[in-house]
Amino acid sequence: MALLRANNIEFTEYDIDKDRAAAVRLRSLGGRGVPFAIINGQVIRGYSAEVYKRALGLK
């Protein structure tokens, strides 16, 4: 999540291997693996810097 840190964007990170509630929540949102993010209400599966930037309104 270097992109988020580099842009001083607050986020919450969950370890689904250690946090059962987080793993259940991930599955309930249609996630099957990580990374998985919800940015401004948009569900994003996987990681693409360009997709994250668009969702965050970054250039």
Distance CA 2, CA 8 (A): 10
Classified as helix, coil or strand, 47 is coil
What pLDDT was estimated at residue 34?
94
> 41 is written with which tokens?
């209400």
- Is the overall model pTM greater than 0.85, yes or no? no
Mean pLDDT by runs of 10 across the 59 residues of the chain is 95 96 95 93 95 95
Number of helices (H), then strands (E), in the chain: 3, 2
What pLDDT was estimated at residue 1?
84
Distance CA 12, CA 59 (A): 22
Q: Which domains does the chain have, with CATH numbers?
A: 2-56 (3.40.30.10)
Radius of gyration of the chain (CA): 12
